[in-house]
Amino acid sequence: MTAACHYQYDGLVTGHAYSMLGAITLNGDKLLKMRNPWGKEKYTGPYSDNDGRWTSSLKQQAGFTAGDDGTFFMPVANFKRAFASYTVLMYQDWHKDSV
């Protein structure tokens, strides 16, 4: 799943594609786990690495690790503001071996 950032928003790079790695609900907040393929993150919005909302318990539930690794969480509402489009692809290996 990929998403194209079309707007300057909370430190995201405009005109850049990000990967969507997953989704999780924490304390009633629906979050998307995102990744900048450049391996750097500049997201500064809610649930960014340095955000005060992260407790030890929430970090454990989300599998959160802080670091400039390109991976971050963001609320779905913020995702909708920053990303004008996204693509979901499905892959299945339809190859069959001869019997």
Residue 9's contacts (CB-CB under 8 Å, 6 or more residues apart) are 45, 78, 81, 82
The model's pTM is: 0.82
pLDDT tens-digit series, residues 32-67:
999 998 888 789 999 999 999 999 999 999 999 888
Do 33 and 74 touch, CB atoms closer than 8 A? no
Give the sign of the dihedral formed by CA 66, CA 70, CA 71, CA 77: positive
Domains and CATH numbers, the chain: 2-87 (3.90.70.10)
Query: How confident is the model at residue 96, as a pLDDT?
Result: 64
Among the listed residues 35, 9, 8, the one whose alpha carbon sits nearest the alpha carbon of residue 20:
35
Q: Give dist(CA 12, CA 83) in Å, integer.
A: 10
